[in-house]
Structure 1
Amino acid sequence: MVPGSFRSTRGDARRSTSLALLLAGTALLFPAPLSAQTAPTPTTTYGTVAGTGTAPTATATATSATTPAITDPQTTGAVSSDDLTPASNEDYLRQNQREPTIDGLRLRSYNPEYDRAPGVRIGTFTLRPEVSETINHEWRKDGDTKTNRGYLETGIRGTLTSDWSRHQLTVTGEGVLQNNISGEGEEEPRADVDAELRLDLWDETVARLRAGYSFEREDADDPNAISNAKDQSAVNTYRLGAAIERDFGLIRGSVGIDFDRRTYGDVELENGTNLSVKYRNRNTGTLTARVGYELSPALIPFIEGSVGKSLYDLREDPLGFERSYQTYAGRGGIELDLGEKLYGELGIGYETYNFEDGRLGDISGLSVDGRLNWSPQRGTDVLFAISTDLNPSTTPGDAGSIDYNLTNIITHQMRSDLVARLTNNLTLRNYPSDARSSDETTWRTGAGLTYDINRYLALTGDVSYERTTRDRGDTTDITRIGVGLTLRR
């Protein structure tokens, strides 16, 4: 062999070895940029991995080759490690996917407050006022006598609600003023204000403080009304109440006391003189206790008892009758709460008024009280209500009457801006202790529409019919129709 050629071969070998070592070192020092710039391709190496005795697979080689990507792949063209997984990153973050609708339509969000006026913010309270103005016409028929009148009715109503983290104060008010513009008829103004303060006390204990005021003019059809009056008496009612409620596990109990003060203004007679009826003024206090047992959160039977006393300002009326009386009542019933679809309560019992004057017979009878709210579908609400009232009388020798009131109100949202309503009411008035007084049956029905021009302004229309039938044969028919605007804030 030629010596020169031997040296040349050894030099080439050393240069090849040095070049291989340099490339290997470069790959070891900079693995990330190399793998980030070029997506690795699965390869298979024939042979065995040291220490395992098994041949490596393409999947294993690809997995081991993935490395963190460069910070900004959009500018560098780098491939993120998340892009190499079989599913997107969102699938890993949301394991429990939302169930689709049955018909495959997109879900639409529903906000019941969307079309409601926002109200006025006053500190920690929200005031929602409404002002309405309607023009109405009324036709009235008493036996063979017919009258009619046209009148404007102005209404003001509103709610004031607190926004506290604990406790709550709610104030509701409504006032109506009528002004005749044609024909003849008695104007019927009225007002009502109620406030309730709920105090969230300790350990499932709630206290409620109530106050209220009502004003109305006595109806000419009322049995206690003066027959030859131009304007009937103005009736003022003042209310105070307090109650405390507590849950004892499955047992719920409450006790409350209520005080009412009722006063009557002078009656203006047709000859221009005034007649005082202050002998009808009285104070009434009632104590009520109630105990219920929770069979389930939706079903709670209860028993309730009450006792009360009514004292007139004058011990005797102008005819010498002592009208003060005691009241006793007891009933049992059930509370129902199936959520927004169906909730309410119904109670049945017995109630009696015992007068201090022995010449006046007691007023006693079956007492039925309840209220049931039913929503067969969204936008439709149905109310069924029944109540029993015992009304003392000021007619000579007459103790009073038992009144049963049945009410049904249906409200249906025909469109998002159009609401229809249908109202029916039946009143049965019975005089159990006086055969001279005639029992009465009054039926009222009405229908109306409210069209929301926007969330602040609405157009309203109403029509109603009322018929009163008495056992002695005479009847009274009243028909009303009206249209107006309601401004909200």
Structure 2
Amino acid sequence: MIAAGVVFAGLPAVARAQAVDANDAPFQLLRGSSGPLVLTPQPSEKIAPFFDPSPMLMNSRDLGAGPLPASSFTNTQSRVTLVNPAVRDRVYADLSAPAPSSSTEPRRRRPQPVDPYEQLGLTLGGLKLLPAIEADVGYDSNPRRTDTGVKGSTMLRTMAELKLQSDWQRHSLTGSLRGSYDAFPGMTDVNRPAGEGRVNLRLDVLRGTQIESEGRYIVTTQQPGNPNLPNGVVNQPITASFGGTLGLVHAFNRLSVGVYGDIDRSTYGNAKLADGTSVSQDDRNYTQYAVRLRTGYELSAYLTPFIEGRLDKRRYDEHFDSSGYARNSNGVGMRVGTAFNLPGSLTGEIAAGLEHRVYDDPRLADLNGPIGEASLVWTATPLTKLRLRASSTIGETTVVGSSGVVVMQAGAEVEHALRRNLTVTGALAFSNNNYQDVYLKEHGITGSVRLDWKMTRTLAFRASFTHERLDSTSANSDYTANIFLVGLRLQR
């Protein structure tokens, strides 16, 4: 073998080329018509990486017999220049291609798609703020919400909104604040505000121990046909409720125990009569104090059943109302439920129970009623989202002979994206007010359709239609209203 190599090396260049040409028929396909490989690189040509064609013969060899012997075309002294450009390009592609990734290497995450219409917000330290304002114009077929003497009016609505979300390693702060004002030119006595908001703060004190707090408010108005109002009311008195919660929660492995204290304040504005006089509703103002104990057990990361008990008392600013009833009361209630947490699919909470109330006035019978709440968000598809809400509470009333009113509400909202910047939303809500110990019931229904067209990240066009209906056993309390609105939303 050594002698053969010496003889081959001693031949002239032309003879060596002919010898190679005669014995390398298997490699003619590799070189094409360019002839044999030239072992001496030319200064003007691009130097190719080292190339050994011997692995191409591996299919005809026993892979278990050890490493392959060096091929006669292996040059260990100098680099090789490929003359045929087509072959050179193929070889370069094979040699420069990245090695196949091992199955043990972590797979790189694909970058998440960027929504060009997503609200960016403002960053303040570790807090993200999402502000928005909206101006709408439209028509309301029954702004007074009355059964007789119905008269429509142009409607102007101004709305402001602020959402906030913290981005802290510890603790958490979230909130949603919203307020609006509806104005009716030529009918200023029915102009009405509305608003709702919540802010939640969680402080991680120790491992497994948290302090939870919440601030909340609701502002709305009463229709003239409300049975709690005197006859002949021409305006829509404002009612406001605001309060807070402070609680301590500790987790014992999967078991969590929380103790909460609640304070809520409800106030009612004056009612105006047709003769221009006002009737005070200060006798309806009251404050509620409550203590709650909640225990939950985490069955899995997605399901946490719980049981909650509560004690509360309601204290009025005036001991007797306008009808001479002492409406202070004490209540006890219990409910059971579960929290859902299926990221990207189903999140929320559902609970149901009973409440028992005892009133100071012996003429008012004890009241037993269902209590509960449900708030679920189901992402059916990446384009469709369903929101469900329901609640049952025991409310206060000034109706003569009635202890209280059981208020039940339920609603569903479906949001579907027709395009990335075009969304249609449909909503349907029901309400039922059942006044105890008297024949007085109210059934309400509200349906709406809304179209949102995001023109840019900061500007959106909105159009909506809403239908409201109330049926009541109280005379002259029924009403029907249709509201059409179009407007622009400016957000940051």
TM-score normalised over the length of structure 1: 0.78
Paired residues of 1:298 and 1:337 also in contact (CA < 8 A) = yes
Report what 1:128 is aligned to: 130
Report what 2:3 is aligned to: none
Q: What are the Cα deviations for residues 218-266 of structure 1, in whole angstroms up to 9, with x where unaligned?
A: 3334332333223233223231211223322222222211101222232
Report what 1:410 is aligned to: 414
Secondary structure (helix, strand or coil) at the match of 1:146 reads coil
Cα shift at 1:482: 0.8
Report what 2:375 is aligned to: 371
Cα shift at 1:374: 1.5
Please say if 1:59 is aligned against 2:62.
Answer: no
Cα shift at 1:306: 1.0
Report what 1:214 is aligned to: 218
Secondary structure (helix, strand or coil) at the match of 1:314 reads coil
Paired residues of 1:196 and 1:211 also in contact (CA < 8 A) = yes
Report what 2:482 is aligned to: 479
Secondary structure (helix, strand or coil) at the match of 1:60 reads coil
Secondary structure (helix, strand or coil) at the match of 2:185 reads strand
- Aligned mates of 1:295, 1:63 — CA distance in 2: 70
Report what 1:145 is aligned to: 149
Give the greater-gyration-radius structure (CA). Answer: 1
Secondary structure (helix, strand or coil) at the match of 2:68 reads helix
Report what 2:26 is aligned to: none
Aligned length: 432
Paired residues of 2:297 and 2:306 also in contact (CA < 8 A) = yes
Which segments of 5 or more consecutive residues in structure 2 lack a partner in the other structure?
Answer: 1-9, 11-38, 42-46, 55-64, 82-90
Paired residues of 1:151 and 1:182 also in contact (CA < 8 A) = no
Q: What are the Cα deviations for residues 313-367 of structure 1, in whole angstroms up to 9, with x where unaligned?
A: 1112233211111111112223333322123332221112211111112221223
Q: What are the Cα deviations for residues 162-216 of structure 1, in whole angstroms up to 9, with x where unaligned?
A: 3322212234221111221256872221233432221122222222122233333
- The answer to which of 458-467 and 331-340 deviates more is 331-340
- Code of the residue aligned with 1:367 in structure 2: it is I
Correspondence for 2:179 among 171, 175, 181: 175
Paired residues of 1:40 and 1:62 also in contact (CA < 8 A) = no
- The answer to which of 178-187 and 118-127 deviates more is 178-187
Work out which structure has the larger RCO, using CA pairs closer than 8 Å and 6 or more positions apart in sequence. 2
Paired residues of 1:363 and 1:402 also in contact (CA < 8 A) = no
Report what 2:61 is aligned to: none
Which segments of 5 or more consecutive residues in structure 1 lack a partner in the other structure?
Answer: 1-19, 21-32, 44-55, 74-82, 100-106
Percent of pairs identical after alignment? Answer: 23
Paired residues of 1:263 and 1:278 also in contact (CA < 8 A) = yes
In structure 2, the CA distance between the partners of 1:247 and 1:69, relative to structure 1 (3 Å rule), is farther
Report what 1:306 is aligned to: 310
Paired residues of 2:189 and 2:235 also in contact (CA < 8 A) = no
Report what 2:19 is aligned to: none
- Aligned mates of 1:380, 1:340 — CA distance in 2: 12
- Code of the residue aligned with 1:454 in structure 2: it is T
Cα shift at 1:89: 5.9
Paired residues of 1:42 and 1:59 also in contact (CA < 8 A) = no
Paired residues of 1:150 and 1:183 also in contact (CA < 8 A) = no
- Aligned mates of 2:200, 2:300 — CA distance in 1: 28
Cα shift at 1:148: 1.1
Secondary structure (helix, strand or coil) at the match of 2:151 reads strand
- The answer to which of 189-198 and 59-68 deviates more is 59-68
- Aligned mates of 2:178, 2:52 — CA distance in 1: 80
Paired residues of 2:146 and 2:224 also in contact (CA < 8 A) = no
- Aligned mates of 2:469, 2:377 — CA distance in 1: 27
In structure 2, the CA distance between the partners of 1:273 and 1:377, relative to structure 1 (3 Å rule), is same
Alignment root-mean-square deviation, CA: 3.6
Paired residues of 2:159 and 2:179 also in contact (CA < 8 A) = yes
Paired residues of 1:352 and 1:364 also in contact (CA < 8 A) = yes
Secondary structure (helix, strand or coil) at the match of 1:393 reads coil
Paired residues of 2:182 and 2:192 also in contact (CA < 8 A) = yes
Paired residues of 2:442 and 2:473 also in contact (CA < 8 A) = yes
| 1:313-328 equivalent positions in 2, closer than 5 A | 313-328=317-332
Cα shift at 1:296: 2.5
- Code of the residue aligned with 2:70 in structure 1: it is T
- Aligned mates of 1:241, 1:459 — CA distance in 2: 37
Report what 1:52 is aligned to: none
TM-score normalised over the length of structure 2: 0.78
Report what 2:266 is aligned to: 262
Report what 2:235 is aligned to: 231
Secondary structure (helix, strand or coil) at the match of 1:59 reads coil
Correspondence for 2:291 among 287, 290, 293: 287
- Code of the residue aligned with 1:460 in structure 2: it is R
Report what 1:465 is aligned to: 467
- Aligned mates of 2:96, 2:104 — CA distance in 1: 15
In structure 2, the CA distance between the partners of 1:149 and 1:172, relative to structure 1 (3 Å rule), is same
Secondary structure (helix, strand or coil) at the match of 1:398 reads coil
- Aligned mates of 1:181, 1:37 — CA distance in 2: 84
Correspondence for 1:454 among 453, 456, 465: 456
Secondary structure (helix, strand or coil) at the match of 1:279 reads helix
Paired residues of 1:399 and 1:434 also in contact (CA < 8 A) = no
| 1:65-80 equivalent positions in 2, closer than 5 A | none
In structure 2, the CA distance between the partners of 1:142 and 1:86, relative to structure 1 (3 Å rule), is closer
In structure 2, the CA distance between the partners of 1:473 and 1:278, relative to structure 1 (3 Å rule), is closer
- Code of the residue aligned with 2:324 in structure 1: it is G
- Aligned mates of 1:240, 1:194 — CA distance in 2: 9
Correspondence for 1:90 among 92, 98, 102: 98
- Aligned mates of 2:356, 2:248 — CA distance in 1: 26
Secondary structure (helix, strand or coil) at the match of 1:229 reads coil
